[in-house]
Structure 1
Amino acid sequence: MTATVTGGEALVAALEVHGAETVFGIPGTHNLPIYAALAQHGIRHVSPRHEQGGAFAADGWARAGGQPGVCLTTTGPALLNAATAAAQAYSDSVPVLLVSPGLPLRHPGRGNGYLHEVKDQRAAMDAVVAYSHRVTSVAEIPLAVAQAYAAMTTGRPRPVHLEIPLDLLDEQGPLQLVAPVPVPPAAPAAEQAAAAAQALGAALRPVIIAGGGCSGAAAELLEVAERLGAPVVTTANGKGVFGDGHPLAIGAGLHHEAVRALVADSDAVLAVGTELAPADLWNGPLDLNGPLVRIDIDAQSVITNARPDVAVVADAALALRAIADRLPPAEQPRPGHGRAAAARTAFAAQARAEGADYLGLTAAIAQALGHDGFLVGDSAMACYYGALSNLPAHHPRSFLYPTGLGTLGYALPAAIGAKLARPEAPVVALHGDGGIMFTIQELASAAELRIPLPIVVADNGGYGEIRNEMTARKDPVHAVDLPGPDFPAIARAMGCHGVRVDGSAGLARSLESALAADRPTLIHLPEDAAR
C-alpha cells in the first residue's frame, strides 16, 4: 500500500534516499512543513544567520566532501539572498541543491501582493543555476529530487533549484520514492583517446594544465605526467590535484610569466578539466606552439576559450587512463624533469615576489594545515596573491576558493560547511577585512556548532585591490578605506574566541591553539604583520 504524506515529508524522504546528511537553512513561514519532517528522517539541520551563508556552507560541504550540498530557504527575499552563492557554485562547477517554497499553485499570474511574493522567483534562479524547476504535485517531488541529483552528478556538476508551491508542502499525496539513478562516468571514445595519445606521445616538450575537473583523477594525472615527462601546472580550482612535492610539479596559478613561458616553449599542451578562462589566466590567452589536447566532461567547454586539435569529451579519470594505456612507459631519466625544475624555480620566484606581503601568513597556515588540511579562501589579496601560488597543496580539493564569480564573503561560511563535511581534518578560513564583513554574522553559526575553526582576517584597511587599481588608473582614491572594527571583540561577542596577532610567529601559535580549541577563533592580523 502506498503511503500518503505531505509534500514536506515527501521532500525530506527523497533527500534521505539520496544520501543527504546535512541541510543548511533558515525556517520561515512558508517552509515549516519541511522543518516538521526533518527531525523524523535524521537529517542534520545547520542554521546559518543569513541565507547566503547557508548556500556558501552547502558549497563548502560539496567541495570538501565530494557530495552535493543542500540549502533550504523560504520564499522571496530568502531565496534571493542565496542567489549569489548559487551563482558562485555555478561558476565553479559545484553541485548544490537549493530548495525553496514558491507561491501557491493557483496564485494569480500577475500577482496580488502575497507575502514574500517575487515576480518570478523560479525564473530569477534559472538565470544563475543549471536549471530551476517548479513542481506541480506532491507525487512529483521525489521525481524532481531524483532528477536534480542525476543532473548534479552527471557531466559537469552545477547547482539546481527546486521550487515547491507552498500549498503543496501541507497537501497530502502518495509517496513513491525514486531511487538514485546510477550514473557511470563517461568513457572516452577510443578514437579520441588514440588521437590524444598520438599527439602527446610525439611531443618532445609537453606540458599539462590541470583544473578542478581533475579533482577525481589525481592518480591518473600522475601516471600520464610521468609517462610523458611533462611539467604540470594547475588552476586555482585544480590546486592540489598534483602534489607540490613532485619533481614535475610547477605550482598553482596560470597568470605567472613562468607559466606563459613554459607553455610557449612546449610542443604539445594537455589541458584537463579547465576552462582556460580569463579568470584564471588574468593576462590573456596562452601562446600555443603545438597541438592542444583538451579533456573535459562538458562538450561546450572543451571548445571554449581555446580550440583544441584533439578534443576528448569524457570523465577526466577515464580519459587519462585511456591515454596512459596508449603511451610507452616513462623514460629513465625522465627528460621533463630539467624543464620542470627550471620552470618551478622561475615560478616560485615570481610567486614570492607577487605575494611578498603574505609569505609569513602562508608559511604559518601551511604549518597548521600539514598534509591533510583545507584552506578556504575569500576573494582577497591574501588569497590570490598570497596563498594561491605560495601555499603548498598535497591533495585535491584542499584549496576552496571562489574563482570565477569572485564573490566576497565566501570563506567563513564555506569553511563551516567544509569542516562539517571533513571533521577529522584541519580547516582554516582566510579573509580580508573587507570581505569578512559580508558574512561576519556566520561567526554566530560557527560558535553554535562548537567547531575548532580558525578564521584569519588579513587587514589592509579596506578594499586594498580596488585601492591599488584606482591608483594605477590615476583616479581619485576614495570609498575604499574602511575604519576597522575590533574584529576579536566581535568574535567574542558572538561566542567565539578572538585574538590579535602582530607577526607570523604569533600567527603560527594562534593557529595551533585555534585548531585545538573548543570553539572557532578569529585571528586578526594587520597586513604589515603578515610578512
Structure 2
Amino acid sequence: MTHDHDLELRPTAAQTEAALNPPSRRPTTAPQGGASRHVMTGRNGGDLVVETLAGLGATTVFGLPGQHALGMFDALRRSDLRYIGLRVENNAGFAADAYGRITGEAAPLLLSTGPGALTSLAALQEAAAASAPVLAISSQVPTPGLGGGRHGYLHELPDQSASFRGVVKSVHTVRTASQIPSAIAAAWKSALTVPHGPVWVEIPQDVLLAETVLPVVTAMDATPDELPPRPELTALAAHLLSGAERPAIIAGGGVVRSDASGKLRQLAERIQAPVVTTPGGKGAFPWTHPLSLQSWIEDRHTTDFLEDADVLLVVGSGLGELSSNYHTFKPRGRVIQVEADLGKLESNHPGIGIHADARLALQALLETVEEREDDTAPARVRELLERVRARIDGQDLALEQQVLTAVRRALPTGSPSFWDMTILAYWAWSAFDAMGPNRLHSAQGAGGLGYGFPAALGAAVADPTRPVLAVSGDGGALYSIAELATARQYDLDVTWLIVDDGGYGILREYMTDAFGEPTATELTRPDYVALAESFGVPGVRTTPETLEEDLTKSLSTPGPSVVVLPAVLRMFAPTHLG
C-alpha cells in the first residue's frame, strides 16, 4: 500500500526567490577575468538531508548529481557520509538495493529531478518486488512548479511523485526546510518496517539551496514497527502442523530478510517437515540437510510432492509465478501462509493467512508446536531428489551443469553472488547451493535486465572483506557496462562473469519453442575483455574447462575483474509440464 505524506506548506514566490539568492549568497566577483560566480556559504537544506541521514545511522549513499539536486550533493562535502557515484541512475538503484539486502539497513539513493529520477524506476521496482530497503531522495523543481503546474522548468513533470506512487511503499513530498528531517525519518521507518521496501522522498531545488537557521540534526528516532502474529492464528497453525501426517514447508525470501533461517531449521526438525526454498529464499535452509528438498521448485516432481502434503506451511512467500511452478501448483491439503505483505495473503491460494514477520511467526510456532516423529521424511526427500536428478540427467545438459559446478567451486563459501536474468541464473535458482542465507541474489523479483553487476558493486561497498561475484549474459552486460568505470574508481572487489552467447539467450529459446525461430534476439557486442581493459579492469577469456581456475584466480585477486565465457547454454526442459 502506498501512503502519501504531502506536506502542504508552500513558500511564496518572494520567499522562493530569497531562498535561491539570499543576501549571504550574493554573486561574488571571480579573481580572474572579471567573470562573476555564485558562491554559497553556510548550511542549507542539503545539509539537513545529509545530517538527518547520518543521525539515522547511514554511513554510505549512492546516486548521481543533477542540476536541481546540487544543494544536496554539495552538502556531502561537509558530512562524513561516503558517496558512491554510479554512471546510470538505474544502476545506482541496483547498487543501493544490494547494499540494503546485505546490511539490512535502509540504503540512501540520491537522485535529480525528472529524467534522472525516472531512470531509477526499474531498480525501485526490483527493490519493491524483493523487499529491499532503498531510501530514494530526489530533488524537485522549485516549489512554484509543484502541484501540476506548467512553469517550464528543466526536468519538470506534471506530478513527479505520481510516477513512483505505484512502485514504492510510501511517497513523501517536502515543501519547507523544517519538514526535511521528519519526512526523511518517516521514509526511513517505512523502508525498514516489514515488509521492507523502497520509499520516495522529493525536495524542491529552492528548499535544498536555501540557507537554514535550524540547528544541526544530531539524532533521529525512526524505529521500524514490528509485525507480530496474532496468537490465535499461530495456535491453530501449530495444532495443524503437530497433527499432520505429511507436513511440508516452502521457505521464501521473507525468511532470509527477517534472519529467521535458524528458527526455520528448528521448526522443520521438530515436526520432521521437508523444506523447499524459492528463488528468493535461497540459502534459508541447509542444502544438504536430510529434510532439504533444495530449490527444485520449478520441477513437476517437487510440485507433486508439495501438493501431496496434508499441511503445507508457506513462510515469507506469496506463491507467485516462479514459486508456484508457473501457477500449476494446486495444493490439496491445508495451507498456512505466513506473509508480511498483507496484499499477498491468500492472493494465490486459500488458507490460514498469518500477517506477520517470518521470524516472529516462526518463534511463536516453536513455542507451541508439538514434536513429531516421522522416520519416513528423509527417505521421501532422497527419493524425490533422485527423481529430479534422473530427469535432468536425461536431457543432455552436461555443459550447463559443468559451468554451474565450476562457479560454485570457485566462489568462496561466504561470498555473495548477484545474478542477472540469464540462463545460468535460471539454473542457479534451482541447482546452486548458496551455502547460507543472504548470499545468492538475483533480479527474479521484477525480472529486469542489468541487475547483476551494479548490485554486486553495492554489495562490495557493504562488505569489503570478501570478494563478490556478478553473473550476466552478454545482453544484460550491455545494460551496465558503464559501471566498469565505477568499479575501477572505487577499486571494488567484484569479479564479473559474462556468459557470451551472442544475444538474448533465454528469449532466443522462448521464441524458438513458441514460433520455430527467434526474432530480435541476436546482438552485435563488443570484445568484453578489451573493453574491460580499456577501463583499467583486468579481463580474461575462458572456456568451460578453464572456468573454475580463471574464476578462482580473479576472485582471489583484489579489485575488479572480468571473466568472459563464450558459450551457448540451454535451459532444462519446462518443469511445469506433466
Superposition TM-score, scaled by structure 2 size = 0.87
Which residue does the alignment assign to 2:502?
461
Q: How does 1:38-77 map to 2 (within 5 A)?
A: 38-77=76-115
Q: Is the 8 A contact 1:250 1:347 kept in 2?
A: no
Which residue does the alignment assign to 2:429?
388
Q: Distance in 2 between matches of 1:100 and 1:266?
A: 48
Q: Distance in 1 between matches of 2:391 and 2:133?
A: 34
Is 1:204 the counterpart of 2:245? The answer is: yes
Which amino acid in structure 2 is aligned with residue 423 of structure 1?
P
Instruction: From 190, 214, 221, give the equivalent of 2:231.
Output: 190
Which residue does the alignment assign to 1:12?
50
Residues 138/353 of structure 1: CA separation in 2 closer, same or farther (3 Å cut): farther
Instruction: From 218, 221, 230, give the equivalent of 2:264.
Output: 221
* Residue aligned with 1:106, SS: helix
Q: Is the 8 A contact 2:100 2:134 kept in 1?
A: yes
Q: Is the 8 A contact 1:206 1:269 kept in 2?
A: yes
Which residue does the alignment assign to 2:197?
158
* Offset at residue 117 of structure 1 (A): 1.6
Which residue does the alignment assign to 1:21?
59
Q: Distance in 2 between matches of 1:236 and 1:502?
A: 27
Q: Distance in 1 between matches of 2:67 and 2:252?
A: 42
Q: Distance in 1 between matches of 2:296 and 2:133?
A: 24
* Offset at residue 518 of structure 1 (A): 3.8
* Residue aligned with 2:349, SS: coil
> What do residues 410-464 of structure 1 show as CA deviations (whole Å, max 9, x unaligned)?
0000000011112223310000011110111111101112123110011121011
Is 1:410 the counterpart of 2:451? The answer is: yes
Is 1:271 the counterpart of 2:314? The answer is: yes
* Residue aligned with 2:342, SS: coil
Which residue does the alignment assign to 2:346?
303
Which residue does the alignment assign to 2:418?
376
Q: Distance in 1 between matches of 2:314 and 2:459?
A: 28
Q: Distance in 1 between matches of 2:508 and 2:305?
A: 32
* Residue aligned with 2:177, SS: coil
* Residue aligned with 1:303, SS: coil
Which residue does the alignment assign to 2:336?
293
Q: Is the 8 A contact 2:299 2:325 kept in 1?
A: no
Residues 530/480 of structure 1: CA separation in 2 closer, same or farther (3 Å cut): closer
* Offset at residue 45 of structure 1 (A): 0.4
Which amino acid in structure 1 is aligned with residue 294 of structure 2?
G
Q: Distance in 2 between matches of 1:372 and 1:469?
A: 34
Q: Is the 8 A contact 1:134 1:162 kept in 2?
A: yes
* Offset at residue 177 of structure 1 (A): 5.8
* Offset at residue 251 of structure 1 (A): 1.3
> What do residues 508-528 of structure 1 show as CA deviations (whole Å, max 9, x unaligned)?
111121123242111110115
Is 1:125 the counterpart of 2:168? The answer is: no
Point out where structure 1 has 5 or more consecutive residues left out of the alignment: none
Is 1:111 the counterpart of 2:183? The answer is: no
Q: Distance in 2 between matches of 1:184 and 1:27?
A: 32
Q: Distance in 1 between matches of 2:77 and 2:505?
A: 45
Q: Is the 8 A contact 2:99 2:107 kept in 1?
A: yes
Which residue does the alignment assign to 2:14?
none
Q: Is the 8 A contact 1:379 1:435 kept in 2?
A: yes
Q: Is the 8 A contact 2:56 2:222 kept in 1?
A: no
Which amino acid in structure 2 is aligned with residue 512 of structure 1?
T
Point out where structure 2 has 5 or more consecutive residues left out of the alignment: 1-41, 572-578
Q: Distance in 2 between matches of 1:353 and 1:224?
A: 35
Is 1:84 the counterpart of 2:84? The answer is: no
Q: Distance in 2 between matches of 1:185 and 1:60?
A: 23
Is 1:515 the counterpart of 2:558? The answer is: no
* Offset at residue 340 of structure 1 (A): 1.5
Q: Distance in 1 between matches of 2:156 and 2:421?
A: 32
* Residue range with higher mean Cα deviation, 248-257 or 398-407: 248-257
Which residue does the alignment assign to 1:312?
354
Q: Distance in 2 between matches of 1:177 and 1:351?
A: 58
Q: How does 1:315-464 map to 2 (within 5 A)?
A: 315-329=357-371, 331=373, 334-350=375-391, 356-384=398-426, 386-464=427-505
* Residue aligned with 2:280, SS: coil
* Offset at residue 184 of structure 1 (A): 5.2
Percent of aligned positions that are identical: 33
Q: How does 1:142-153 map to 2 (within 5 A)?
A: 142-153=181-192
Q: Distance in 1 between matches of 2:51 and 2:403?
A: 45
Q: Distance in 2 between matches of 1:14 and 1:300?
A: 32
Q: Is the 8 A contact 2:410 2:549 kept in 1?
A: no
* Offset at residue 275 of structure 1 (A): 0.8
* Offset at residue 330 of structure 1 (A): 5.2
* Residue range with higher mean Cα deviation, 151-160 or 354-363: 354-363
* Offset at residue 15 of structure 1 (A): 0.5
Superposition TM-score, scaled by structure 1 size = 0.94
* Residue range with higher mean Cα deviation, 177-186 or 96-105: 177-186
Which amino acid in structure 2 is aligned with residue 526 of structure 1?
P
Residues 350/85 of structure 1: CA separation in 2 closer, same or farther (3 Å cut): farther
Q: Distance in 2 between matches of 1:426 and 1:471?
A: 38
Which residue does the alignment assign to 2:138?
100
Q: Distance in 2 between matches of 1:261 and 1:116?
A: 53
* Offset at residue 207 of structure 1 (A): 0.7
Q: Distance in 1 between matches of 2:86 and 2:393?
A: 37
Which amino acid in structure 1 is aligned with residue 416 of structure 2?
F
Q: Distance in 2 between matches of 1:205 and 1:177?
A: 55
* Residue range with higher mean Cα deviation, 189-198 or 122-131: 122-131
* Offset at residue 530 of structure 1 (A): 10
* Residue aligned with 1:435, SS: helix
* Offset at residue 476 of structure 1 (A): 4.6
